[in-house]
Amino acid sequence: MNYQDVLSKIYEEIKPFANEGQQATYIPALASVNPNQFGICIEPLDDSPVSSFGAADVRFSMQSISKVFMLAACLSLEGDNLWKRMGKEPSGTAFNSLVQLEFEKGKPRNPFINAGALVMSDILISRMKDVEQTFLNFVREISGSHVDYNRVVAQSEEEQAYLNTAIANLLKYHGNIENKIDDVLHFYILCCSIEMNCCELAHAFRPFADHRHPFCFAGISLTTSQVKRINAIMQTCGFYDEAGEFSYLVGLPGKSGVGGGIAAIHPSQYSVAVWSPRLNSKGNSVMGLKALELLTTETEESIF
């Protein structure tokens, strides 16, 4: 498969969507990002070269994509005990819903909504020594690059974290946060601020697609079965309350973030990352979604 030609063709077809949507404005640092950018990168698992197009070397804030790495770390440390504190079901509501969390008595529906990520942050603070550096070391090793937190973005988000603070307080009330709320919020927001470009992100997701080799990075180890289960959660819960639509149109496990990035995998075939800051009403990249839909259409490759 000549992915480079496919990517060029995809870009020509998605140009009409270039001005649809807008970047996340509730995080001031993201609101200032130039929205007229698009990048994509595919990393095949065979000996084929990595293919990229557009602004694939421009770093962006991962935001909720970082929850996949948090889940990998928590599952490595906690095993199935993790599911005592959160579920595995699609939410069907917004990623920052308080209503669902209150109704379900402080047990987040899945790891990829904000409540689930806050519980994962609490676990990592409890289980990791020097959690900020230890988690960063893991992300650096899996991405093969010297990525870092963007503390300007983190501070910008922290200053507006009213709803996440409410979620954290509700979790604390129900006994599902053990550490100080401020510490949990700070680490969660810091994780979301990690910046990667499309090529770094595609490389970081490669181990989730490659079930032939052990998953072990900076002391975070997963069995093949655990990796496949993370893929299943990405398939059903990776796109907020638009996960069903993504599964229907694209047919790949993946995760999106309000920074405009999307990472996805085709098991045993490739990992792919796409970035474009303009979001739809669900918080997913307009051009990113369309690009991945066309990718699986053009290649006639999906998990189904």
> What integer pLDDT is reported at residue 94 of this predicted model?
73
**pLDDT score at 93:** 74
Determine which one of 240, 256, 272, 290 is catalytic. 240
Can you give the pLDDT at residue 111?
A: 97
- In this predicted model, what pLDDT tens digit does every residue of 34-82 receive, in sequence order? 999 999 999 999 989 999 999 999 999 999 999 999 999 999 999 999 9
- 67 catalytic? Reply is yes
Q: Do domains 3-61+195-299 and 64-192 have the same CATH topology?
A: yes
Which of the residues 131, 147, 227, 258 is marked catalytic?
Answer: 258
Q: Is 119 within 8 Å of 273 (Cβ atoms)?
A: no
Annotated active-site residue in 51, 52, 64, 143: 64
Residue 3 among the catalytic residues: no
Q: What is the pLDDT of residue 71?
A: 98
| Residue in the structure block whose two tokens are 């973005």 | 153
CATH of domain 64-192: 3.40.710.10
Residue 64 is a catalytic residue: yes
Q: Spell out the domain ranges in the chain.
A: 3-61+195-299, 64-192
What is residue 100's predicted lDDT score, i.e. its pLDDT?
86
Please pick, among 3, 149, 188, 270, the residue that the annotation labels catalytic: 188
Question: Structurally, what CATH architecture does the domain formed by 3-61+195-299 represent?
Answer: 3-Layer(aba) Sandwich (3.40)
Q: Is 240 a catalytic residue?
A: yes
Give the pLDDT of residue 163. 95
- Residue 188 annotated as catalytic: yes
Q: What was the pLDDT predicted at 97? A: 79
What distances in angstroms separate CA 286 from CA 50, 69, 140, one per listed residue?
Answer: 24, 24, 28
pLDDT of residue 153: 95
Q: Whole-model pTM? A: 0.96
Averaged over successive runs of 10 residues, the pLDDT of the chain (304 residues) comes to 93 96 91 96 94 98 98 98 96 80 93 97 98 98 98 95 96 98 98 98 98 95 97 95 93 97 97 97 96 96 88
Residues 144-156: tens digit of each pLDDT: 999 999 999 999 9
The single residue of 67, 172, 255, 290 carrying the catalytic annotation is 67
